[in-house]
Structure 1
Amino acid sequence: MRILKSAALILGLTFLPLPATAQGMPPEQIKQILDLTKANWVAFRDWQGQELIYFTHLEAWKCGIDYVFYGLNGGPMDQVWELDSCDPDSPNAVLKEKPYLERPDGSTQSISVQLIFPDGTKSAVETFLYKP
């Protein structure tokens, strides 16, 4: 039911008269989509003795994000995930060869992420726990 409400909200927002971005969506709509999908900002995977932290979802919305700051294991939010450049012809395409961080097995307990938007506003800091 929550997914249906979220989808209805997103669809309803498409009729708001706001300036469009390269993704053809108003900046406020992109921020709302990212807020509604914050549980998907990062994903974890064990792979061949490493921990991979994927930023694929954020790469797909890169045209609506200026910066992605992150911190690992409760540390300071002083690292930057470098998003690919926005391509207005394919704004949601994820073409980065490695849209993930590679970490040694057993080294990650959590990652905290904060987004900075083109209008200068910041998202709340979201913390994701790694559960192998």
Structure 2
Amino acid sequence: MRMMKSALLSATLCILPVTASVPAKAQGMPPEQIKQILEVTKTSWVAFRDWEGQDLIYFTHLEAWKCGIDYVFFGLNGSPLEEIWELDACDPDNPNAVLKDKPYLEMPDGSVQSISVQLVFPDGTKSTVETFPYKPQ
């Protein structure tokens, strides 16, 4: 048993210098995996906040998964999904970074009752339309 542990340790030490010298690569996920994550986290696609007399609608969650989304269409208060949320460009070296100064919409106080959102994925498929009632935190 002791010999087996020693052999395993020797083998690990022989491999360690080789793997330690290989530069780290970007660890982005394939778009189909991001699509699955977005499906199970759809209740987090948007968030709301009342702030200094404005209704804020945050798209932070979608910005964090932008490398797996081509388009974000939305409509306010039951209107058609004709608006587009412009996602930042995907950075494969930092795929989940949210660097946008304002990852939210600013609307007049009391003007938002709901938002409906639909995503378009790189494979051309669309998510279901999800509607979120305005519930500020």
Q: What's the TM-score, normalizing by structure 1?
A: 0.81
Contact 1:59 1:92 in 2 (8 A): yes
**Structure 1: segments with no counterpart, 5+ residues:** 1-21
Where relative contact order (Cα < 8 A, 6+ residues apart) is larger, the structure is 2
- Which letter maps to 1:119? D
Instruction: Note the aligned Cα RMSD (angstroms).
Output: 1.1
Q: Tell me how far 1:26 sits from its aligned partner.
A: 2.3
Which of 80, 103, 107 is 2:107 aligned to?
103
After the TM superposition, which segments of 4 or more aligned residues of structure 1 sit over 2 Å from their partners?
Answer: none
- What is the number of residues matched between the two proteins? 111
Structure 2 CA distance for aligned equivalents of residues 23 and 78 of structure 1: 34
Q: Tell me how far 1:67 sits from its aligned partner.
A: 0.2
Q: What's the TM-score, normalizing by structure 2?
A: 0.78
Contact 1:23 1:92 in 2 (8 A): no
Matched, 1:76 2:80: yes
Structure 1 CA distance for aligned equivalents of residues 79 and 112 of structure 2: 11
Q: Percent identity?
A: 82
Task: Please state which structure has a larger fraction of its residues in helix.
Answer: 2
Q: Tell me how far 1:50 sits from its aligned partner.
A: 0.3
Change (3 A) 1:64 1:108: same
Q: Tell me how far 1:23 sits from its aligned partner.
A: 5.7
Partner residue in 1 for 2:10:
none
Structure 2 CA distance for aligned equivalents of residues 82 and 28 of structure 1: 21
Q: Which has the larger radius of gyration?
A: 2
Partner residue in 1 for 2:126:
122
**Structure 2: segments with no counterpart, 5+ residues:** 1-25
Partner residue in 2 for 1:36:
40
Contact 2:67 2:95 in 1 (8 A): yes
